[in-house]
Each structure stands twice: as C-alpha cells, then as structure tokens.
Amino acid sequence: MAGAGFLALPRAVADTSWLGVAMMILFCGSVAFSATRLGRCRLILEERWPEYKETIRQPYMEIAFRALGLAGRRAALVSVIINLYGSTTVYIILISQMIASMESVLSTCALVLIVGTCLIPLTWLGTPKDFWQASIMAVVSTVVAVVVIIVQVFIEKPSLPDPWYPNPTIGSFSLGFGAILFAFGGSAVFPTVQNDMKDRSQFWKSALVGFAGVVVQIAISLEIINLVSTYVISINPVVQSVEEIFNIPNKFGIKRVLVRSSMVVVQMLICLAVPDFGLILNLIGGSCITMNTFIFPPLMYMKLMDQKDPRWPERTLPLWERVYLIEIICVGVVGGIAATISAFIAILDPDNFGMNCFVNFSGAEE
C-alpha cells in the first residue's frame, strides 16, 4: 500500500475535518481485512478448480467469475481497468507537477509529454515478478519521504502561520471521502501480485504488513521515485487485461509494445485535458476504487463461502465476519455514491474547463 495514495490524505483531511482522521483509521482496518479475504478467494479457487493453481492473467476477474458469474466478471473487468488506468493517469500528472515545482523551466503540460514518453518503455515489462524491485523502491522512498517531511515540519513550524480549517460542507466532505478511498485503493492489484507468489497462502501476511528547502527537494525526489515505481506496478493488471481481450501473446513482442505504448499515449492526452489531478482522483476514488476495494472483495468472498458442493471441502462463514463484510459494503455504497456525484459536479464546473493544457498550448501559439 506504499504508493501515491498518501499524497491525497492532507487535502482529504482538510475536507473532512477531524472525522476524516477516524475515517482513515476505519478504512485502513477495513481494507486490510477485505484484502485478506480477497487473498482467501484465490485459495478457494485453487482448492475447487485445479486449473487456477497455474499463473493466470486476470486473477481478480476470475474470482469475480466464479463468485458472481459472467456478468460479475464483466463488471469487475470494467471497474478494474477504469480504476487502475485512471489512478496511473493521476501518477503522470503528479510526477509532472513535482518536477515542475523543482525550479523546472518547463510547464506541467510540457512535462506530461516528457514523463509519459519516459514511462512507456517501463510498461513493456511482463508481470510483477519481472520488476519486483519497483515494490521495494516504492516502499523505501515512501518511508524516507514521510520521515523527511515530518522533520521539515518541525524545523519550519515556528515560521509558519497558523493553519485555517474551514467547516466541511456536504460537497467537500464527499470529495474528501473519495480522496481517502483513493489512498486505500490497492485491492485491484493484489490478486495480480498474489498470482506471482510461490506460496499464495501467505498473501494475507503481505496485506496486513502493507497497511500497517534541500529537504523539500529530497522529499519531492523520493516521491517521484515512489510514483514511478507505483505506476509500473499499477498499470500492469490493466495492460494484461487488455492484451487478454485482444489475444496478444503473453511474451515480449511488437504487439505488446504497440498496445502498451498506445495506452500510455491515451493517458497523456487525458492528463493534458484534465491537468488537475484532484478532479480525476476524487472521481476514481468515489466510483471504481469503491467498487474494487469495498464492494467486490467482501461480496465475492461471501458468495464463494456460501457455495456448496460435495466434492469441495466444507467452509463456513462466522456471523461476526459476515456482518463486518456487509458493513464494509454499505460504507462503500453510500460513500461511493456521494463522492462520485460530488466529483462529477466539480469536473463539470465551467471554471475548470479553462484549466486544460490544450487551451494553454493554443494561447502560447498566439
């Protein structure tokens, strides 16, 4: 879970006030619990259908298929693709903005093109086992960046003005809710990571551990490393799903290069059209991340546990666990709807249409 999500938390807490702190703690525990159940879903599939003991390209969607049928598989596929594709689009914007803040002579819009081009070759790698170093880089850079930021806060505290926190409105609270959801939205990637583990039964341990001036330049640099690493990890399930749809061979070749490069180019165009990462972040957090993190995993786990067959080992779901999973779903549904509506309203605000890079490029030419 060490990724770009924690960058969204300061704004989210400002939008939700002190209740946001309680929400972060609650969501962290709930998503961690939900992630362990998602890991169990994969083990149940291997237990009942031996073909799943091999590496599969779309583990999240296969879990949805066995639990919710073909319609569930299609819904999960669409949700995962939008979730991870949208999230990684946000990463491109964030990397560009951070580089621009480091005394860059280039604008954020120009840097989007450069950053996107540099990221294209990294997407050509196969599965997470081919770039396991990215996970380590993301974790280390995040931890060091957090320490550096905390130290810098204490150093600069005497010279900083007292912060002002406005009372949250329904709209701002909903947007903050979506941003907090975005911060804990890694569940769609978990099955792909578990897919490459030698002992998939140990995934629950990984899930629990995962939730558990010059200085400014250092913090920004570390976070850029974090975002690049997280981008490579998060985009992988999306490109694998698209390649599965178009029957692209599961090996390096010209078709893989063309498909994955084209997907990054489309992301660059989205970044140029909506360069405010907060607008995309809140929309993705309130809609697809809610589905993939708060709704699908508990629902799929309960469905698989309720299925019976004489050939399968007997499994029972304790009442307390079922109640907790239902509560997670309810929180996701209510909060997700409110956050999505608020995000749409913010995106459709006429004041935001003048912020896109195409307008800036046109103005520069004139």
CB 57 within 8 A of CB 241: yes
pLDDT at 358 over 50: yes
How many whole angstroms separate alpha carbon 151 and alpha carbon 295?
A: 38
Residue 259 has pLDDT above 70, yes or no: yes
pTM: 0.72
Domain CATH number, residue 280:
1.20.1740
CA distance 50 to 111: 48
CB-based burial, 332-366: b 16+ in 10 Å, e otherwise: beebbebbbebbeebeeeeeeeeebbeebeeeeee
- Checking if the pLDDT of 313 tops 50, the result is yes
| Mean pLDDT of all residues belonging to the chain | 77
- Highest mean pLDDT among 22-26, 277-281, 304-308 belongs to 304-308
- 118 or 343: which leads in pLDDT: 118
The pLDDT value recorded for residue 366 is: 44
Domain residue limits at 192? 4-212+215-365
List the single range of 152-166, 282-296, 319-333 with lowest mean pLDDT.
Answer: 152-166
> What is the distance, to the nearest Å, from the Cα of residue 241 to the centroid of all Cα atoms in its chain?
16
Q: Phi/psi at 133 (nearest 5 deg)?
A: -65, -25
Total structural domains in the chain? Answer: 1
Residue whose token pair is 């505290």: 157
pLDDT in tens, 25-53: 888 888 888 888 888 888 899 889 888 88
CB-based contacts of 55, cutoff 8 Å, min separation 6:
127, 195, 196
Q: Which of 148-162, 210-224, 312-326 has the lowest mean pLDDT?
A: 210-224
- Tell me how far CA of residue 83 lies from CA of 73, 237, 274, in angstroms: 15, 11, 16
pLDDT band, very low/low/confident/very high, at 131 (cuts 50, 70, 90)? low
- Residue whose tokens read 């850029």: 224
Over residues 180-188, the mean pLDDT reads 64
Looking at residue 1, its pLDDT comes to: 44
State pLDDT tens for residues 265-286: 999 998 888 766 666 667 776 7
